[in-house]
Structure 1
Amino acid sequence: MAATVQIMKRPVRKSSYIRATLSGMALTFRHLVQSAGDRSDKTIQYPDEKKQLSPRWRGTHVMETHDDGRPKCVACGLCPTICPANCIKLVPGEDDQGNRYPIVYEIDEFRCIFCGMCQEVCPVEAIHVGNHYEAGEYTRDNFVYDLDRLMKQTHPSTLLWDPADPAGE
């Protein structure tokens, strides 16, 4: 089958962009006039008022603790293994009774993609992705969350998708 080529000719006259510019300005003016009556519905006074986040929102991490203040983490090594961004650093240790615990547990929030896989893979549900999203810092070093800082996080955890409940109810 032979390929056919269709030759398109350009218009001979010079095109003017005045019509496109005026239609764009008319659209902007229409939006300006339509939204003048209900501006208060669209404006949020941010520090005082905040939007309701989705229950599945993924923000900074939270390390769950036991009642005596020890982290729930058993240093199994699944979270750094499953992490696609390679942002979790874990050095395991063991006490006299044979209980495993993390000596070093750090999450680099700059590298983290907030996928929630660390939360899903944790066998003891020690690490959770929280609802906190206001994480402004002055230096890059403050975005590396160590074990103490993760245990001090008090914001609630997020609800991730459960494969047993595909509708999310």
Structure 2
Amino acid sequence: MSYIRSTLAGMATTFKHLVDPHKVTMEYPETKWDLSPRWRGTHRMLTTEDGKAKCVACGLCPTVCPANCIKLTPGEDEQGNRYPLVFEIDEFRCIFCGYCQEVCPEEAIHLGRHYENAEYDRASFVYDLERLTAQTHPVSELWDPADPKGE
């Protein structure tokens, strides 16, 4: 008898939502999500005034990454300035934790507020330095411990 009661309760819930005038469907391409400023989406590498990546290839981001999705090969120019020869992020492996953004001493790598990542093949989800610096979406804000509710 308990299965009849459960079935009727489920049907009552379904009927209640069927006649509820409150619509929850979003017309997606025309209407976009209103994201939080702390939303962590696709990565973005910030650049200096002359267009070069702000990254100094310190190696902290691949070290702290729990998903092991960042590949970094450091290089050095004639003046002794370090820069990344290879900087790649595999967006499929990334768990979007934000550790790379938090640990970066130059504030070069950021998680952006972008969530529309559609590609035709898996290799396109590996973002190299050129693609990371070409991103223009707004960046995610870090959590402020002075404002625990994020308001």
Confirm or deny a common fold (TM above 0.5): yes
**Deviations along 1:28-53, whole A, 9 cap, x unmatched?**
112212x1x333xx222110111211
Q: Give yes or no for the alignment of 1:29 onto 2:15.
A: yes
Corresponding residue to 1:90 among 66, 72, 75 = 72
* SS of the residue 2:9 aligns to: helix
* SS of the residue 2:89 aligns to: strand
**Deviations along 1:52-90, whole A, 9 cap, x unmatched?**
111111001000001111110000111111111111000
Q: What is the identity, as a one-letter code, of the residue corresponding to 2:84?
A: P
Q: Give yes or no for the alignment of 1:62 onto 2:44.
A: yes
Partner residue in 1 for 2:22: 38
Paired positions, count: 151
Look at both structures and tell me which one has the larger radius of gyration over its CA atoms: 1
Distance 1:121 1:16 in 2: 54
Partner residue in 2 for 1:106: 88
Q: List structure 1 segments (4+ residues) > 6 angstroms apart after TM superposition.
A: none
Q: What is the identity, as a one-letter code, of the residue corresponding to 1:123?
A: P
Distance 2:3 2:61 in 1: 56
Distance 2:144 2:17 in 1: 41
TM-score (norm 1): 0.83
Task: Please state how far the C-alpha of 1:16 moved relative to its aligned partner.
Answer: 7.1
Greater relative CO (CA pairs within 8 A, separation 6+): 2
Distance 2:98 2:9 in 1: 45
Instruction: Map residues 120-131 of structure 1 onto 2, 5 A cutoff.
Output: 120-131=102-113
Q: What is the identity, as a one-letter code, of the residue corresponding to 2:17?
A: H
How many percent of aligned residue pairs carry the same amino acid? 72
Q: Give yes or no for the alignment of 1:155 onto 2:133.
A: no
TM-score (norm 2): 0.92
